[in-house]
Structure formats: C-alpha cells, structure tokens
Amino acid sequence: MNILIIGSGGREHALGVALKKSPQCEQLYFAPGNAGTSTIGKNLSISDIDIDALLDFATQNKIDLTMVGPEAPLVSGIVDIFTEAGLAIVGPSKAAAQLEGSKDWAKAFMVRHNIPTAKYETFLDYDTSIAYINKRDTYPIVIKADGLAAGKGVTVALNFEMADDALTDCFIDQKFSEAGAKVVIEDFLKGEEASIFAFTDGHVIKPMTPAQDHKAVFDGDKGPNTGGMGSYSPAPLVTPAIEDNVYNDVFLPLLRGLQAEGIVYKGIVYAGLMIDKGEVSIVEFNVRFGDPETQVVLPRLKTDLVTILNAVSNETLDSVNLEWSDDSGVCVVLASGGYPGSYKKGQVMTGLEGDTQTCYVIHAGSEVNDKDETITKGGRVCGVVSIHSDLKIAIETAYQRVDQVQFNGKYNRTDIGFKAFKSIKS
C-alpha cells in the first residue's frame, strides 16, 4: 500500500515508524515531514494545510490510505474533500472535528450527552467576560480561546491579573485572531491528568492503552505549559476500574452522541482526562493522535496498525482485536532553549546515530539543510523513546541516549516518567 501521512511533527514520525513495521506498507509519503521522516519515507514539499495540493498528490500517485496527523487540516474539512474524491482517509469529518476546533461546541456537546466535564460559560466580548470573572472571584479559573491557537490559547489563571491578561490577549489585542473572538471560561478541575486515545469507525469505539504527558516546561511540573515535554505508557494512575469508567462514561456517550446527531467520525479520539480520587472528568477532546503520547503508545501496539486504519476507514473495526505489549515506554522531549517562548533555529544536531529497536530518536522540529546537516527548526526538536519491560530501566536508557544527542541550547526535563512510581505507591 502507498500511504500518505500529513504533518511534520513527532507524532507523524512515530506514526511512520509504526506503519513501516507492517508488511502491507510499501511506500510512505510525508507532507511535509521532517528530518526523521525522510529516513523512512519520502518527504513532500506540500504544506499540511494545502488541501488542494494534497488531494492532487494523493489522486495522481494512487495513494491507498491517508492518515491525518495535525488538527488544522481536519478542522478545515480535508476528510470530507478526500472522501468525496473517493480516497480512503482516516480522520473525522469537518462537522466532527468541531470537537477540537471549537471549545464552545465541544463543551455544549458534552453537556448534551452527559459526558463529565467542568462547568463553563461562553463569552463574546471583554466587558461581559471580565464582569463574570469579577463576580465569580474564584481562582484558579481556566480561560480558553474557542478556536485553534496552536496550543497557546489556554490560561489557568491563578489571580485576577492573569485572568485579565488572558482576556485582553483574546478580545483587546486579538492575539489569536478569529480563534480568540469567543472565549470559554471553565471551573478549575483538581486532580492529575492522563490521556487515552481510541480508534472509532463510527459504529464501535476501541480505547488504546493509557499514557501520561508532562506539559509544564520545568521539572516538578513547574513553569508554563508546553505542547508536551515527555510522556510514558502505561500510566498506573489509570487503573482498570478507571479505564472501564472512561469507556462507559466518556467514549460510549461520545459515540452515541455523534450517531444521534448524524455526525460522521472515522478516526482517532483523544480524551484528555482529569482524575481526582478515582473520579474522571474530560479536560478536552482532540480529534487526532496527541504528541508526545503517540511516541509511547504506538510502540506498545502489537496489532498491525495498517490493518486497524483500514478497518477504521472501511467501518469494520469490530472485527479487529487490539493487542498490547506489557512493556513500558518513555519519551523525553529535547527542546530549544527558551521554549515555549522565543528560541533560536538552525542549530546543528549531533549524536543522532546509534538508534536501536528499543531506544531511538523521533524527530519533530528538525530539517536537513543544504550541507546535509540535521538542524533544529522548532521549539520541540525531537524526542528520545525507550521501550523496556521495566519502566525504571526504560527511563535510565532514555536519559543515556538524551545525553548523546546535542545541539546548541538543548533543554530537557530530567524527571519524565517519575510520576508513575508515585501512582504505583499510592
């Protein structure tokens, strides 16, 4: 099969590594890809949001299956366009992608279908939203730009000043353009976060193994949130009882709600969970694989990923049994100094050789320059993934490999995966 993966991050490289294992995969294409994807497939000079060019390429090159990595093309309706052209593609329809594309739409959907989530209100201007904040006078409180804001539209306000700054960014300074023209203000949820992905073909939904992300930039979950500084799987915090609750109280109501509203969803669902004393609430849904959780979930998947994605596309997922390895996976993200603020690009990377089947580098914000050097291109540059039957050894091995990879300004957390031991003890 000829398979096209849309996107350029660590998630897309990890998807490519998983798909490459399948004997059904003949050729991988990445649009646009990164330095890592170029070693396992062919990178294309096509933006992930240039839907017309992507459609032309898929049609002319007889692509058998397209996998959409990032959220922007999904929200723009790429699945509807490919489907109308008779091309197999994995991802939700434009209507279903509102689950991530609009915080207000998603919250209203959850309320309609009794999916546990924080109480919220939606606002269209600064004056009424700031009046609400003043009236509530309760902190922390969560302020979210309604639309896609490249992961930067969410503020956990600890006081009035932070709340005011967040609302000013959206309504006054229009920092997020149209994405911030509407704002959702939520009650703060206490607890610890975890993630569970699921495959769905619109008829059945099958959860994957849980993972836990580390969003804060500094050790001990300090500092501003990022796109993710590391992850591990499985997550002991998510007990079998909690997994059952998530399936029955989150995924099934989600699927039934989509069906009841006539919304087509054939793809990946990401459930961002807040777990407090065994009680589960939804922080957010995403309509695609998450990054860096994909890097530790897919290596533990024993079932052929091509078979699964074909079943999602063909609406035959009920016939596929998901099997998982008992191994543990950890991913440590290497970031550019200054991230998630300003940072330098174009730094030469070294120490990339030496990957093994159980410890390897997944590229994200990287590219190859005209001197055939691998250089940094983004805030999150790459991630070191380690797989082992013992999580402690997986962590130790990952950090040994982290020390080998070098570039000017490299930064990484030194405590990725340690939360697991705390959860095991408790």
The pLDDT of residue 425 is 65
Nearest to 32 by CA among 14, 50, 17, 18: 50
Residues 93, 79 contacting (CB under 8 angstroms): yes
pLDDT digits (tens, 9 = 90+) for 272-320: 999 999 899 999 999 999 999 999 999 999 999 999 999 999 999 999 9
Share of the chain above pLDDT 90, in %: 96
Buried b (16+ CB within 10 A) or exposed e, 20-56: eebebbeebbbbbbbbbbbbebebbebebebbeebbe
The pLDDT of residue 128 is 98
At 394 the three-state DSSP class reads helix
The pLDDT of residue 249 is 97
236 prior amide bond cis, ω within 30: no
**Residue in this structure with the two tokens 């201007």, named with its chain if needed:** 125
DSSP 176: T
Which tokens hold the place of 268? 């990946």
Residue 1 has pLDDT above 90, yes or no: yes
Q: What share of the chain is helix, strand, coil (3-state, %, to 5)?
A: 35, 30, 40
Which tokens hold the place of 345? 């690009």
Residue 382 has pLDDT above 90, yes or no: yes
Tell me the average pLDDT across 118-124. 97
Measured in whole angstroms, how far is the alpha carbon of residue 107 from the centre of its chain? 19
Q: Look up the pTM and report it.
A: 0.95
Residues 344, 336 contacting (CB under 8 angstroms): yes
DSSP string computed for 33-57? --TTGGGTSEE-S--TT-HHHHHHH
pLDDT band at 426, cuts 50/70/90? Answer: low
Buried b (16+ CB within 10 A) or exposed e, 177-201: eebbebbbbbbebebbbbbbbbbbb
The pLDDT of residue 151 is 74
pLDDT band at 225, cuts 50/70/90? Answer: confident
pLDDT digits (tens, 9 = 90+) for 128-186: 999 999 999 999 999 999 999 877 889 999 999 999 999 999 999 999 999 999 999 99
The count of residues in the chain is 426
User: Where do the domains of the chain lie, and which CATH numbers do they carry?
Assistant: 2-93 (3.40.50.20), 125-181 (3.30.1490), 192-319 (3.30.470.20), 328-425 (3.90.600.10)
Which tokens hold the place of 226? 């990022």
CA distance 89 to 301: 21
Which tokens hold the place of 321? 């049994």
CA distance 259 to 270: 18
Helix (H) or strand (E) holding 300: none
Which tokens hold the place of 306? 């091509």
pLDDT digits (tens, 9 = 90+) for 401-412: 999 999 999 999
Residue 423 has pLDDT above 90, yes or no: no
**Residue in this structure with the two tokens 């039957």, named with its chain if needed:** 389
Phi-psi region of 190 (alpha: psi -120 to 50; beta: other; left: phi over 0): beta
